[in-house]
Structure 1
């Protein structure tokens, strides 16, 4: 049975049992505790916690999940995967233990002809929490499991939580016996390779507190109602139903392995565990990377972007270690698309972008490998020169940490160079880094914010947004909150001791508002709330959404008092709104212009707009040329001048996409969406923000610059409207000032400045030539005036101000060469720029034989000028910060030479 069929049968089974099918959430769900969605129930957490009322009593889904903490274990065993599909059924106060067991058992054991998986009931085992007698009785009565195939286990195995404060409860796991060829008998307690877990039924009934491990936390009490959360591992069930040993042999992963095996000199499953691990890394990471890119992530140096970059680089390294030197990423992405596309159509529709990002990272990392190889060569050469045969753990760690070299790549390169590697030292440094990372992660991990105080208002229905049609609305206060607590009244604080108290900061929820809540890259409106005939007034400083539906106004109460139930007037600052609509509509125009100039691969990766300003991030490799930037600005302003009508309408999501409407990757959209159309086909985007009525109202758009914000992501910034005009006015004034100073018309300024720059370069070269000639003359004079101190010819001189350390190094070499083979020492010191004091000391071989080493003598100079220095026995240098000690430094050096 193919994996796509396994998914379909699961969903069909529960839909027929009255469950609502809920699509998989993006792996980038907005949760402060999670880098990626790592369990099937994550998107349902607010319902389990009672923070929101679920729109259904029963639901089912197949959720995309990613877990990366054990990324280094992938491939070593056949049980670790970074990406997996978790099929689940959920009850929110509907059925509980008996219903969950009945539904799971019937799907697993019903014949294939009846929509089940057709598993042999005699091969199924169950585990329960050690004191859950009810679950034991149900397994016996519902499934007919004998007592010997039901095992009781402790909290670490059969009591589930998210690992942080939140919902929890006892669980019951279903295991499949793969037979004696996979291990000893005795059930899951004896061998979890033979008895493989396929389904976990969580009887979610409690809420847990803080803790440090799976079985060390306090149970705070019962949840508002009992719930069911189950998770069936799709990949594990696929192994069993397809009759293969592990997930890498299933229909979704084996094709990737076969693609690599067709190009690698060493095949898969040929007896080399090391090579098999590399194949499995490529297979696992390829589909995980495709899913992550598909949900809107691009490679970067932190957070999700760093995880993606690491996955892609591990693929490339593993392929090279298998002997695949040519680019392979494009072919891997095609294979993943073909295998996963039937379940995840976004991998097909967005394939060009996914492939382009993956291939760009492969190209960039191949360049990094070249640079890292040079570092390895240098480290290997230094090791051999020191008479050693072991590359240090520090060198191996630097290769890993700076260039992304895994230890196995370093080991292979070292072996080719006739060296071994201090693996123990490397492992210690890696462990130290992991300890720091875990401590940092633990410091950031926290429980879900308590939004229960807002639940009643969330359940009452969404806030009516009136801001598309009016700037002032009459509204009713539904709730007032201070520090997350609901209060009946918010009042202005009276004067105390002649001083006015700071305005009381509260949150006000009303039934309808014209104030836009921050979302979609547009920051929130500012405005006011007033009531009681104008005696009560509050300044609105921010508006945020709770549960995507409830608008919460952060306010400073400036006068009077507000009481829950009051009728108030809510108003937007008209000047602010005008500027905000210019910025938001300008963002759409720049996006459209980018796609017109660069093509459809210039896809939005994020945005921010506020009055007079916009910032737009887009996926693109490499900096824009000046010509491209100018053309984007021209296309944008031509569309502004065309005065296109801005038309908005609501339609079904699929219909909007079929029309070509642009959507932000990774963003969740409802079934019905709002479309903003500017100039017909010129700009068509899904958007809930506020906009101008026609494009001419945006005013001029001036692109300020274009820059990189991460690998494969560029950023354009621009002013719009009056801010654009003010910027251009400043630029014009600057140009006029230059024209006046240069005494040429404005249009001739660039050519005139170019001429001046060329003349300046010629003058600088002449000055440098004269300076070097002067320095050489000074060197000749210094050599001619060498002192004889004991057995040594000594040149110890202060040089002209402004000389650099490079100048002094060149001179000491010339002087030392002119002093012959007798013992000679040269010490030059100067007062450099910014009160620095560079100095250089050289000793010829005869002087070194007498015991005069340059790296020792330079310390004598350092002491007198408050400096530091070092080097080799024949040449050393340093820099001080006390020019007043130069003469004393030279005298001290003469004394040191005289003692030889």
Structure 2
């Protein structure tokens, strides 16, 4: 049974049982606790937390997931992968334990011919939370199994929570006995285990986890240490069945890497490297890493992630580089991803057809990262060679842990390669030190994550207001900027209150509002709300903390605000129009860049503010100035074309068929709003826009820059702000034209000529200055002082920097009498900085004079340090008040060395 069939059977089973089939959410969701969706229930968290009302009582999904804590262990076990798919069924206050158990047991045991998985009941072992007698009785009732066939495990295994106060509950697992070849025999008869022995995890494989969400947790200190405040008012079901695990059981494979959607990548890697899967453990691990990471990277890029040095981008970069590195360790040093990723695409595209549509962007990003990593390996090898040569020169046999860590952390040089190359040089690596530094880095990351964890907004007050209203807030702002409504809720400090007085800052909810809540890159509206009682509030921000609720953050300027009072909301029209122009311009610029650079130039973020916007998009390098000019001209031509800007409502499927773009990471409902600029640009969008393109007036791109690997940012002005900018530019051009006595179109050539003349003049001045400096060299050499038989020149040059000081010192040394011991120390001071250079000839070094020791002696006097070799050394400092004292020390040091 192929993996796609397992997926189809799962959703069909639950759809037949009255569940709404919910498509997989993107791997990126707006959640403060998560980099990626890491479990099937994540898209449903707002329902479980009470932040949103679920639109269905039962749901089922097959959710894309990424888990990253153990990336370095991928491939070492056969159970875990980075990317996986979680099949789940969910009940929101509908059926509970008995229904969940019945539905799961029916699917796994039902014959294949009847749409089930046909697993043998004799191999299935349910587990429960130790002490959950209700679940025990239900499992016995549904399955007919005796108590001793149902394993009792502790809270570490069988209690679930989100790690923060909120819902939680006991779990039941369905375990599959793979047979004695996968673990000790006869070890599972004791069912009161509390913990699952590690040696049995491969044999008794968990394929499904059923969470019975019944408790309200008031404190969660760890997975096994929490307080239960009471029962949830509505009990929920959340289950997760590992698609890959069930697939490899049903396909008769030993692990997830050998299933139909993954093993073809291993086969291609075998062809490229000449290695054979199953022949050698280390090679098997590397081949599994390749299969997992290639697929994971492809799915991440498809959902909008680009490689970078932080957060999601860093995870993707690690995955791509580990895949490339593993191929190198397998003996393949050519470009690997162009050979491997298309294989993974072809296997996954049956389900995820957008892989084909987005392939140009996916492959461009992935292959560019591999090319960059190959350069990193080249540079890292040079750093490695320097480090090993220093170790050998000092007589050592081991590369230190901190050097190995620096290669890994600073230069991106993998420890595996460091170990391999060190062995080739006959050196070992302090792995203990390296692992300690890696552990310290992980602990810092965990502490940072823990500090950020638990930032789920307490939505209880908003939920209370929403429930009291019984309906969503009606947003009228698409068609009007003034609306009549009534106050339906007041929130202060997370609590619902009946009134608010002058001087207070509160959150206000109206049943109807024209104020746009910040979202989709568009800043919130501002304005005022006037109440019938005479009270006036200033609206300075608008947010939507839960779906369907629009919350105005306000200052009460006059009077008292009470729930139930009639109100009139008035949006700051100039601000709204200015923001709307910016938002429409963003859509147009997005489309123009995709025309100019290709479909890979996909929006990666934006901010639409009054009169200006910033637009981030995927690109592998800097955008040429000619492209910037073409995009700006294209957009302004379409501004003049006076295209109609229209909004339509349709299903997501209809929107995609119509050519509308959906942005990565954005959350869309079943019905979506599509904004069209003529028949040219179409995009899913909930923001406000101008009615016609001509209302933009003019769009001026200010420039573009990099904000991370593979992402560029364009900033621009729109409308009056763009006009004022161009007006200032015009005045500046006029002033320059007047000053240089040329026409405006001649300015570039004139300025270029002036710059070239200035450069030529600077070079001539530099020649004269250096000539004057060196002219003094002969006099200084001729006036050298005899110190214990050594010709010494100790000289200060005020106004000279480091380069001049070095030039003079070397020149004077070359002019000293041949055959005589000589030393030169020149000290310069310029702009508060002191430069010291010492130079000693061969005869001087034979007498024991060391340039390095002279500079080290002078350094502390001038407030600095330095060093070098015996023939030439240099240093610097910050104290220019003691230069004469430093020169005296030079003379004393030369006398001491010469007499030693």
TM-score interval w.r.t. the shorter chain?
A: over 0.9
CA contact (8 A) 2:499 2:562 kept: yes
Q: Secondary structure at the match of 1:326?
A: coil
Q: Deviations over 1:447-496 (max 9, x none)?
A: 5221011114435222211112111010111111111211111110xxxx
Q: Secondary structure at the match of 1:276?
A: helix
Partner of 2:252: 243
Q: Deviations over 1:187-236 (max 9, x none)?
A: 25561211111111111111334444321222232222222111111111
Partner of 2:807: 810
Q: Secondary structure at the match of 2:410?
A: helix
Q: Deviations over 1:416-438 (max 9, x none)?
A: 33332222221122122112111
1:462 aligns with 2:460: no
1:474 aligns with 2:474: no
| Residues 129-168 of structure 1 aligned to structure 2 (within 5 Å) | 129-168=129-168
Partner of 2:438: 430
Select which of 372, 377, 385 maps to 1:377: 385
CA contact (8 A) 1:392 1:425 kept: yes
Select which of 215, 224, 249 maps to 2:224: 215
Q: Distance in 1 between matches of 2:436 and 2:480?
A: 64
Q: Deviations over 1:122-172 (max 9, x none)?
A: 111122111112222222221022333212121111112223333211111
Select which of 334, 357, 375 maps to 2:342: 334
Select which of 451, 454, 470 maps to 1:446: 454
CA contact (8 A) 1:201 1:231 kept: yes
| Residues 676-825 of structure 1 aligned to structure 2 (within 5 Å) | 676-680=675-679, 682-799=680-797, 801-819=798-816, 820-825=818-823
Deviation at 1:897, TM superposition (A): 2.2
CA contact (8 A) 1:821 1:844 kept: no
Q: Secondary structure at the match of 2:666?
A: coil
CA contact (8 A) 2:376 2:413 kept: no
1:198 aligns with 2:207: yes
Q: Secondary structure at the match of 1:296?
A: coil
Q: Secondary structure at the match of 1:27?
A: coil
Partner of 1:484: 494
Number of positions where the alignment pairs a residue of Structure 1 with one of Structure 2: 885
Deviates more, 1:295-304 or 1:865-874: 865-874
Partner of 2:607: 608
Deviation at 1:848, TM superposition (A): 3.8
Partner of 1:495: none
Q: Distance in 2 between matches of 1:377 and 1:279?
A: 28
Partner of 2:520: 520
Partner of 1:553: 552
Deviates more, 1:114-123 or 1:846-855: 846-855
Deviates more, 1:363-372 or 1:106-115: 363-372
Q: Distance in 2 between matches of 1:55 and 1:578?
A: 34
1:591 aligns with 2:599: no
Partner of 2:8: 8
Q: Deviations over 1:745-773 (max 9, x none)?
A: 22222111111111111111111212222
Deviation at 1:342, TM superposition (A): 2.1
Partner of 2:282: 274
Deviation at 1:879, TM superposition (A): 1.6
Q: Distance in 1 between matches of 2:603 and 2:321?
A: 24
Partner of 2:96: 96
Partner of 1:283: 291
Partner of 1:898: 895
Q: Distance in 1 between matches of 2:40 and 2:530?
A: 45
Q: TM-score scaled by structure 1?
A: 0.96
The answer for unaligned runs of 5 or more in structure 2 is 189-195
Q: Secondary structure at the match of 2:278?
A: coil
1:233 aligns with 2:242: yes
Q: Secondary structure at the match of 1:404?
A: coil
Q: Distance in 1 between matches of 2:792 and 2:90?
A: 89
Q: Deviations over 1:575-630 (max 9, x none)?
A: 11121111111111211221222232221111111111011111111111111111
Deviates more, 1:588-597 or 1:457-466: 457-466
Deviation at 1:744, TM superposition (A): 2.1
| Residues 281-430 of structure 1 aligned to structure 2 (within 5 Å) | 281-430=289-438
CA contact (8 A) 2:521 2:606 kept: yes
Task: List 4+ stretches of structure 1 deviating above 6 A.
Answer: none
Q: Distance in 2 between matches of 1:107 and 1:542?
A: 50
Deviates more, 1:474-483 or 1:41-50: 41-50
Deviates more, 1:655-664 or 1:69-78: 655-664
Q: Distance in 2 between matches of 1:407 and 1:873?
A: 37
CA contact (8 A) 1:645 1:679 kept: yes
Deviates more, 1:377-386 or 1:569-578: 377-386
Q: Deviations over 1:834-875 (max 9, x none)?
A: 121211112334434544322322233233333322223332
Q: TM-score scaled by structure 2?
A: 0.96
Q: Distance in 2 between matches of 1:431 and 1:165?
A: 28
Q: Distance in 1 between matches of 2:708 and 2:184?
A: 51
CA contact (8 A) 2:361 2:599 kept: no
Q: Distance in 2 between matches of 1:283 and 1:111?
A: 32
Partner of 2:193: none
Q: Secondary structure at the match of 2:686?
A: coil
Q: Secondary structure at the match of 1:221?
A: strand
Deviates more, 1:113-122 or 1:374-383: 374-383
Q: Distance in 2 between matches of 1:842 and 1:346?
A: 68
| Residues 644-655 of structure 1 aligned to structure 2 (within 5 Å) | 644-655=643-654
Q: Secondary structure at the match of 1:446?
A: coil
CA contact (8 A) 1:166 1:448 kept: no
1:41 aligns with 2:41: yes
Partner of 2:191: none
1:635 aligns with 2:634: yes
Deviation at 1:251, TM superposition (A): 0.9
| Residues 829-844 of structure 1 aligned to structure 2 (within 5 Å) | 829-832=827-830, 834-844=831-841
CA contact (8 A) 2:481 2:514 kept: yes
Q: Secondary structure at the match of 2:200?
A: coil
CA contact (8 A) 1:476 1:567 kept: yes
Partner of 1:74: 74
Q: Distance in 1 between matches of 2:780 and 2:716?
A: 59
Q: Distance in 2 between matches of 1:325 and 1:232?
A: 38
Q: Secondary structure at the match of 1:213?
A: coil
Q: Distance in 2 between matches of 1:210 and 1:695?
A: 54
CA contact (8 A) 1:531 1:569 kept: yes
Deviation at 1:263, TM superposition (A): 0.7
Q: Distance in 1 between matches of 2:176 and 2:860?
A: 77
Q: Distance in 2 between matches of 1:450 and 1:795?
A: 76
1:50 aligns with 2:50: yes
Q: Distance in 2 between matches of 1:181 and 1:562?
A: 73
Q: Distance in 2 between matches of 1:246 and 1:256?
A: 15
CA contact (8 A) 1:863 1:889 kept: no
Deviation at 1:33, TM superposition (A): 0.9
Partner of 1:875: 872
Instruction: Flag the 1:210–1:848 CA change in 2: closer, same or farther, 3 A.
Output: farther
Q: Distance in 1 between matches of 2:783 and 2:668?
A: 84
Q: Distance in 1 between matches of 2:463 and 2:614?
A: 35
